Structure 1
Amino acid sequence: MSATVETARAVGLRPRRARRNVMSVGVWRTRFELMQYFRSGDTLFFTFLFPVFMLGLFSVAFGSDGDVQIAPGVPAISMAELYLPGMIAAGLLLSGFQNLAMDIAIERSDGMLKRLGGTPLSPVSYFIGKIGQVLVTGVLQSALLLVFASTVLGVELPTEPARWATFAWVFVLGITTSALLGVALSSVPRTAKSATAVVVPIALALQFISGVYLTFSQLPEWLQNVAGLFPLKWMAQGMRAVFLPDAYATLEQNGEWNLAGVAIALGVWLVVGLVLSRITFRWIRRDA
């Protein structure tokens, strides 16, 4: 009887030990991915420092005349305050979507994924490492943007706890969705050379139509509708609800921040990204 009990306990412990092993390897992979990320100068600039650079550039280029009023009935604000929400949203897209899509595509083309597939490394541990790296760099990037906007550009950050709570869930949903969609898109480029040509135009087009570089309320209605089909528009809208005065809600499509719509849209895209990444990811391309 005691032998049977001990056997049952041992069998029950194996899945838990396996899960702990997968998680511990995933944490180790996160550390490895972070080291690789911060050693890559071009990646560091174009995905980590680029939003900070663009925020400073737009603030200096368009803010020489002081505060601006972009529409009747809303208070005048600085260009730095106007661009900050979009740049934070763009940072989430660059860190998750663009960075992972290009990184994984290059690793597959170079044969690194094939070599990893021949090791005991679990795909779950591999993706814990990738998404862990994205979460850490996304937090650091957003913190750097906020510090830069506050101390260098003079932006007054919100003090209400409710706004920071909104920032937290929009950030988590946004960067997780971006990361999963980046994993899914990584299966499209056939070579390392084509990864940039495939990924960057998509990310750039989404930024222009989603209220990052151009004021969203001034875009044609049909283009706003097109942007609403993609997650970046909702990420930027959620961030505008955090950092812009309440009166600016009237400039949104429905005249409100519609945070419930933001949560639903990002939640749907998160599920889509999860399904697509699960279906499309392979250590080796099927047509290789």
Structure 2
Amino acid sequence: MSTALPSAARVGLSRGGLELRQFFREKDAVVFTFSLPVVMLVLLASIYRDTVPGTGVTAGQIFAASMIAAGVMSATFVGLGNGIAQDRDDGTLTRLRGTPTPLTSYFLGKVLLVLLVALAEVVLLLAVGRGFFGLVLPTDPARRLTFGWVFLLGVVACALLGIAIKSLARSAKSASAIIMLPFIGLQFISGVLVNPITNLPSPLVELGSVFPLKWMAQGFRSVFLPDSMTFQEVAGSWEPGRTALVLGAWCAGGLVLCLLTFRRRTRKG
């Protein structure tokens, strides 16, 4: 009598638990993942202490709202890109092909890992922003809903890009350099490390507007900052519809990139 194999979703959930245990065993990776956005926030908010005239909003609050987007991208784009490259180098993906575990379950486990890590990163950044820089947590249901969909779309978009970019790295050692370069560069041209974003030259603003980090940062600023701060945005408004459209497009485009890069890698293999 044959026994039915568990579904891909069930295997993926089990794989997610395994990924979490492996992640927290790597103390160095845990410290780096959670400390980098927090350290950047503390440094920026300590250097720039001015208050925006007529709003009562401090630079620390603006950086705190924007850095949440960088924290999400750090946990997803950087974490997945490095993690999958490492699994490819140490033979994990090769051994996986010799088991009944579908590749879908492997990626589902990875996405569950970065989703929970990103959520923990956001909670940490909110605690630091609230405790040290007076970041106001939203009570309006509409703002909370905005936080939810910006977070989820941002996680999916950056996770898919992290999966896709791993194909550019020939080894796990080179993956870190290839991934960190766009991650750091995008923080400058997306209005995370530069406040306000309108201080950037127009070509850089246009380039940053192509990628999801700029829209994530703008979306989170719309959640945690008053509407009086819209004058610092490029369009003079929060643009929630355009934010959702761009992030949704990157989710679809990221999926296509994942399929293309995976098929190319499979043919080479």
Which residue among 232, 236, 240 is the counterpart of 1:259? 240
| Structure 1 residues 224 and 22: alpha-carbon distance in aligned structure 2, compared to 1, 3 A threshold | same
Cα RMSD, aligned residues only? 1.9
| Aligned residue number for residue 48 of structure 2 | 62
User: 2 CA distance for matches of 1:237 and 1:76?
Assistant: 19
Which residue among 22, 25, 34 is the counterpart of 2:11? 25
- SS of residue matched to 1:257: coil
User: 1 CA distance for matches of 2:176 and 2:254?
Assistant: 20
| Aligned residue number for residue 151 of structure 1 | 131
| Aligned residue number for residue 43 of structure 1 | 29
| Partner deviation per Cα, 1:6-44 (whole Å, 9 max, x = no partner) | xxxxxxxx9xx66x5211111111111111111223322
Q: Which structure has the larger Rg over C-alpha atoms?
A: 1
- Name which of structure 1's ranges 154-163 and 28-37 shifts more when overlaid on structure 2: 154-163
1:225 aligns with 2:211: no
Unaligned runs of 5+ residues in structure 2 are none
What is the TM-score of this pair, normalised by structure 2? Answer: 0.93
Output the amino acid matched with 1:198: I
What is the TM-score of this pair, normalised by structure 1? Answer: 0.87
User: 2 CA distance for matches of 1:134 and 1:225?
Assistant: 29
| Structure 1 residues 107 and 285: alpha-carbon distance in aligned structure 2, compared to 1, 3 A threshold | farther
| Structure 1 residues 285 and 190: alpha-carbon distance in aligned structure 2, compared to 1, 3 A threshold | farther
User: 2 CA distance for matches of 1:287 and 1:276?
Assistant: 16
| Structure 1 residues 54 and 207: alpha-carbon distance in aligned structure 2, compared to 1, 3 A threshold | same
Q: Map 1:198-277; keep pairs closer than 5 Å.
A: 198-215=178-195, 216-277=197-258
Q: Map 1:71-220; keep pairs closer than 5 Å.
A: 74-215=54-195, 216-220=197-201
| Partner deviation per Cα, 1:80-100 (whole Å, 9 max, x = no partner) | 201012110001111111110
- Name which of structure 1's ranges 278-287 and 142-151 shifts more when overlaid on structure 2: 278-287
Q: Is the 8 A contact 1:97 1:182 kept in 2?
A: yes
- SS of residue matched to 1:179: helix
- SS of residue matched to 1:186: helix
User: 2 CA distance for matches of 1:243 and 1:200?
Assistant: 27
Determine what percentage of the aligned residue pairs are the same residue. 42
User: 2 CA distance for matches of 1:79 and 1:284?
Assistant: 45
User: 2 CA distance for matches of 1:160 and 1:183?
Assistant: 35
Output the amino acid matched with 2:7: N
User: How many residue pairs get matched?
Assistant: 266
Unaligned runs of 5+ residues in structure 1 are 1-13
Q: Is the 8 A contact 2:167 2:265 kept in 1?
A: no
User: 2 CA distance for matches of 1:250 and 1:154?
Assistant: 21
Q: Is the 8 A contact 1:180 1:273 kept in 2?
A: yes
| Structure 1 residues 231 and 214: alpha-carbon distance in aligned structure 2, compared to 1, 3 A threshold | same
**Shift of the alpha carbon at 1:284?**
6.5
Q: Is the 8 A contact 1:231 1:265 kept in 2?
A: yes
| Partner deviation per Cα, 1:108-136 (whole Å, 9 max, x = no partner) | 12222111111111111101100000111
